[in-house]
Chain A
């Protein structure tokens, strides 16, 4: 028996019979689908600032939700009390949205509760690593970052560890449970030069792994080095040009372009409802030849990966764009059912207190054949953007924006001055047709992405090889 199954049975009395009974209640009127979602998450964090760890945090989040679907309708009730009684009540509330006639429901869940994938086995949960070890780690990072350069005036570092136990049971007999570890290390520094100019540098990393990966200097030093380097680069940054420029995006985190420009627009719900700029465009060219974009929730240990999504569907690799042609959408169960497609394992939710929606996992562009240095050399005057903050998209008109935290001018094919505050804006269905070069250097990001949609945040990954995008609008202050 899997660990969460035993946890929910032993701590809360939620056994197979209780599940069958609750699903039966949810199904008392004729509905298309009913499911139960149980969550028990522990999370701890330690934060260092001004050279000391001032506080330790530990939070326990538990709850259960009952959902009933009929056609395009969903009823959802949730409670942080995990008891058989509160489940029965929630099931009654959820099913009240169905207005169809009554038919008795009965369900028997099956299986062992174990998912097909095993993408993040951990011998020791990151939440079980002694707090003293985490405190020591942050102390080492602080001392190291300050010693790197006298201009580093502030270091804020944190380590956040989570263990999420989930169990999903559904009226189609689905019964699966998963233990999802997640770690994240953050290093932020403030550098100040002699003139009093201050700039920030941030780097983070993480994934569904043991904390061990970050406890050794080989693990954390590159993160601290990057944060320091970024702050120092930004001390020299000049105002960014404004206008339309040829852009080279560096590998890795700039893959946020794909997430904003095409990923959201390909989520099944928007396309079923016809509210996405991509709706009805499968089979059409939406990107240059050579551009292939996939969403893959099955990469071992990645922040965006899951053994099963939050509806119990195994995650998969979905080709969104192949050689420039739009191939498919990302689905949860309801949107797949209503569109006559297969679920893709993208039904995700922030917690038991939220309804699942189609969401991305790890979204990236496959490598091409160009040499990254050649790509930079091919641009006469433009911008080389390597690190980004956040982005946002209006899926209906396709306009997206994302903000660079490290970018340089390209002058005569050479990378020159760093620029500050570069915001890139474009049109999702068009931008990938402006991709003219694709590097051979695909990288995935370091594992820090959180995607927001309809008020819910979920961990995601992105990736990109070096690419050239012709004529993108850059929002700076130098006209």
Chain B
């Protein structure tokens, strides 16, 4: 059955079966991916998938009762059963006065967001093979100490999203995502190895960085880490490059979710209108950036995406909300509902970034820092959104005389995200989009580093 028919049948089936209201999403995807290693193809993957998700509400004594179901079997029989089962399942849950579809405010005319270039569909798997080969070869050419590789990947995926609900909204859009990545391994004379990676991702093939540039940058990052050592335990200024600053911002995004806020499982709960960060910090979420990796014309509930100022000059202006979390907080949806076919609706950022500041390039920030730590990689999950406590493994460079002096590894950096945001005292001017969240390099005045002693 076609996606349109399946979606229509699911909605009608639910309503016929006694549902008060329902919404449905069908996500179709076509993807291909190649990994090249040692200039040979390691794997080629191709896939075509379609999943239908259904959410139904039935009327209970004090509110609506909800069920969420999905299937990748789009036969008439399967859809009919899904609709029946969903209604029966909803009757088992508790009535919730805040549950239900948005009443109004649905997206009207959908903007053209340049999320897909039609001719990119014609690029064959050979193009990926070539791109991955070029990236890996470029990495090896940088230096003879690039001795091995975890491989280079290139791939494309095309998605078609169709969302409709019983309140009358029916919308669809298509998007694409293309990427090239490379993970070379450098070794020193003693055989000690270091790896790093770099990648490019975009809505169109033409907007990707050149494969050779990806490979070269990945190799340079791995090589720079050779000979890394620990530093002494202590408190130092810490500079984050763009990718690690982006990771910090990612930790913040989870704490801005309306769900975490009404559950009080975020340290930002109840802080709207308060100063939560240094005055130079402004964070924007905008779902309608042309060709943006987080752009979409409407959110997971048919609400129009928009530009929301989240933090302005250090003051918390908005959370990220869908209809449900907004109702729980007595607010309005911010158009940030997410919806996968096989998962419950939730909240997510669209294109979210930290506004560039006046501190110049990363090198300028280092020059201004004198002595401290530059972080280029973080790992582990040491972040507690309830308290903001932060403690993660890190690698990078010790900064001496305003320049990287030597590579550093096997250390941790720790603080509290709430304090860290207030302690940001330099924000760079370069914004690098490596996904739907972006941040310029920045410096935190002081963090605790655990290393030797």
Shortest CB–CB separation between residue A344 and chain B, in angstroms? 21
Is A198 an interface residue, CB under 8 A from the partner? Answer: yes
Stretch from B8-16, B241-249, B386-394, B397-405 contacting the other chain: B386-394
A-B contact pairs, 30 of them (CB 8 A): A53-B93, A53-B94, A54-B94, A54-B96, A55-B67, A72-B37, A73-B44, A76-B44, A78-B46, A97-B44, A135-B94, A190-B263, A190-B264, A198-B387, A244-B450, A273-B150, A275-B148, A396-B185, A397-B194, A397-B225, A397-B409, A401-B382, A401-B392, A402-B380, A423-B391, A473-B412, A475-B392, A475-B450, A476-B448, A479-B233
Contact A56 B414 (CB under 8 A): no
Is A156 an interface residue, CB under 8 A from the partner? Answer: yes
Closest to B98 in A: A54
Binary contact readout B8-48 vs A (1 if CB under 8 angstroms, 0 otherwise): 00000000000000000000000000000100111111111
CA distance A75 to B390 in the complex (A): 42
Closest to B85 in A: A58
CA distance A394 to B92 in the complex (A): 45
Is A129 an interface residue, CB under 8 A from the partner? Answer: no
Stretch from A60-68, A321-329, A461-469 contacting the other chain: A60-68
Is B160 an interface residue, CB under 8 A from the partner? Answer: no
Is B111 an interface residue, CB under 8 A from the partner? Answer: no
Contact B92 A135 (CB under 8 A): yes
Is A478 an interface residue, CB under 8 A from the partner? Answer: yes
Is A217 an interface residue, CB under 8 A from the partner? Answer: no
CA distance A317 to B150 in the complex (A): 28
Q: Which residues of B contact A52 (CB under 8 A)?
A: 93-94, 96
Which secondary structure dominates chain B's binding surface? strand
Which of A57, A93, A244, A402 gathers the greatest number of chain B CB atoms within 10 Å? A57
CA distance A63 to B342 in the complex (A): 14
Given contacts A46-B92, A54-B93, 16 further A-B contacts (CB under 8 A): A58-B89, A59-B342, A61-B72, A61-B342, A72-B37, A76-B43, A135-B94, A198-B264, A240-B391, A242-B412, A243-B453, A274-B148, A400-B393, A425-B412, A475-B413, A479-B234
Is A277 an interface residue, CB under 8 A from the partner? Answer: yes
Binary contact readout B437-453 vs A (1 if CB under 8 angstroms, 0 otherwise): 00000000000111111
Given A57-B67, A425-B411, A399 and B380 touching (CB < 8 A)?
no
Contact B192 A421 (CB under 8 A): no
CA distance A192 to B270 in the complex (A): 15
Which of A78, A242, A473 gathers the greatest number of chain B CB atoms within 10 Å? A242
Q: Which residues of B contact A274 (CB under 8 A)?
A: 148
Shortest CB–CB separation between residue B225 and chain A, in angstroms? 8
Kindly identify which residue among B43, B228, B414 contacts A242, using a CB–CB cutoff of 8 Å: B414
B contact set with A: CB distance below 8 Å: 37, 40-51, 66-73, 78, 82, 85-86, 89-90, 92-94, 96, 99, 148-150, 185, 192-195, 225, 228, 230, 233-235, 263-265, 342, 344, 379-382, 384, 386-387, 389-393, 395, 409-416, 448-453
Contact A80 B66 (CB under 8 A): no
CA distance A355 to B413 in the complex (A): 35
| Chain A, interface residues (CB within 8 Å), range | 35 or more
| A-B interface, 5 closest residue pairs, ranked by CB to CB distance from nearest | A475-B412, A401-B393, A401-B380, A52-B94, A242-B450
Contact A54 B392 (CB under 8 A): no
Contact B70 A59 (CB under 8 A): yes
Shortest CB–CB separation between residue B31 and chain A, in angstroms? 9
Kindly identify which residue among A57, A63, A81, A244 contacts B344, using a CB–CB cutoff of 8 Å: A57
Q: Which residues of B contact A74 (CB under 8 A)?
A: 42-44
Is A427 an interface residue, CB under 8 A from the partner? Answer: yes
Is A16 an interface residue, CB under 8 A from the partner? Answer: no
Closest to A63 in B: B72
Shortest CB–CB separation between residue B380 and chain A, in angstroms? 4
CA distance A46 to B92 in the complex (A): 10
Kindly identify which residue among B90, B230, B415 contacts A56, using a CB–CB cutoff of 8 Å: B90
Q: Which residues of A contact B67 (CB under 8 A)?
A: 55-58
Is A391 an interface residue, CB under 8 A from the partner? Answer: yes
Question: Which residues 353-405 of A have a CB within 8 angstroms of B?
Answer: 353, 355, 389-392, 394, 396-397, 399-403
Kindly identify which residue among B48, B49, B265, B452 contacts A244, using a CB–CB cutoff of 8 Å: B452
CA distance A169 to B77 in the complex (A): 28
Shortest CB–CB separation between residue A246 and chain B, in angstroms? 14
Q: Which residues of A contact B342 (CB under 8 A)?
A: 59, 61
Contact A421 B41 (CB under 8 A): no
Is A112 an interface residue, CB under 8 A from the partner? Answer: no
Q: Which residues of B contact A422 (CB under 8 A)?
A: 391
Kindly identify which residue among A60, A72, A131 contacts B72, using a CB–CB cutoff of 8 Å: A60
CA distance A358 to B48 in the complex (A): 25
Contact B148 A473 (CB under 8 A): no
Contact A277 B193 (CB under 8 A): yes
Shortest CB–CB separation between residue A133 and chain B, in angstroms? 10
Contact B47 A79 (CB under 8 A): yes
Is A420 an interface residue, CB under 8 A from the partner? Answer: yes
Shortest CB–CB separation between residue A36 and chain B, in angstroms? 15
Closest to A76 in B: B45
Is A126 an interface residue, CB under 8 A from the partner? Answer: no
Kindly identify which residue among A73, A392, A427, A479 contacts B235, using a CB–CB cutoff of 8 Å: A479
Contact A79 B48 (CB under 8 A): yes
Is A477 an interface residue, CB under 8 A from the partner? Answer: yes
